[in-house]
Structure 1
Amino acid sequence: MFEKVNRSGLIIYLYYNRDAKKLQEYGDICYHSKKHRYLQLYVPTEELDDLVERLGKERFIKKIRRCHIQELETPFVGNLYRNEENVII
């Protein structure tokens, strides 16, 4: 059916909010902050370097940052419940 595609996130700061529509062809827009004029764009990881280079040449983009959420460790070790024995009063 569907294959899982590894994607990476980009935070793209814009000069004007009206230019957000132009970025829909590059990937999936997950979030767009109209007040702070940035958006979060998810693109395939294989195309990330080429895409950052192409987007860096666009005049309507102020700044591009990469998301580092993939680098965080997600398996949490330990118990979330508080032990009554280990509490010091």
Structure 2
Amino acid sequence: MFEKTNRVGIVVSLYYNRDAKKIMKYGDCLYHSRKMRYLVLYVNQDDVDALLVKLNELKFVKEAYPSYFEDIDFNFVGNLWEK
């Protein structure tokens, strides 16, 4: 029926906000911070490495790196216990 595709967020820092429209063609824009001049793209996990190289080569991109959301441990059982 439907197959789940793994998606990864890419954080793209920009020099100017006016260039955000040019970035949105590479993936789905999840969030755009106009004050801090960055946006978060969602792309397929298979395309991440090639897309990071391509985004870092663009002259209006300051930096592009993958989101580390998948590396966070969400098992909080016992971590919040006060002694």
Normalising by the smaller structure, the TM-score range is: 0.7 to 0.9
Q: Could you say what the CA RMSD is over the residues aligned between the two structures, in angstroms?
A: 2.2
TM-score of the superposition, structure 2-length normalised? 0.84
Counterpart mapping for 1:48-87 below 5 A:
48-77=48-77
Give, in whole Å, the separation in 2 of the partners of 1:47 and 1:8. 9
Match of 1:32 in 2: 32
Give, in whole Å, the separation in 2 of the partners of 1:16 and 1:45. 27
* Alpha-carbon shift at residue 4 of structure 1 (Å): 1.6
Larger Rg: 1
* Alpha-carbon shift at residue 75 of structure 1 (Å): 4.1
Match of 2:4 in 1: 4
Structure 1 gaps, min length 5: none
**Is residue 52–residue 64 contact of structure 2 (8 Å, CA) maintained in 1?**
yes
Give, in whole Å, the separation in 1 of the partners of 2:4 and 2:58. 30
**Is residue 52–residue 65 contact of structure 2 (8 Å, CA) maintained in 1?**
no
Which amino acid is 2:48 matched to?
L
* Alpha-carbon shift at residue 72 of structure 1 (Å): 1.7
The ranges of structure 1 where at least 4 consecutive aligned residues each deviate by more than 6 angstroms after the TM superposition are none
Give, in whole Å, the separation in 1 of the partners of 2:32 and 2:20. 8
Structure 2 gaps, min length 5: none
Q: What percentage of residue pairs aligned between the two structures are identical?
A: 46
* Alpha-carbon shift at residue 76 of structure 1 (Å): 4.0
* Alpha-carbon shift at residue 27 of structure 1 (Å): 0.6
Give, in whole Å, the separation in 1 of the partners of 2:55 and 2:30. 17
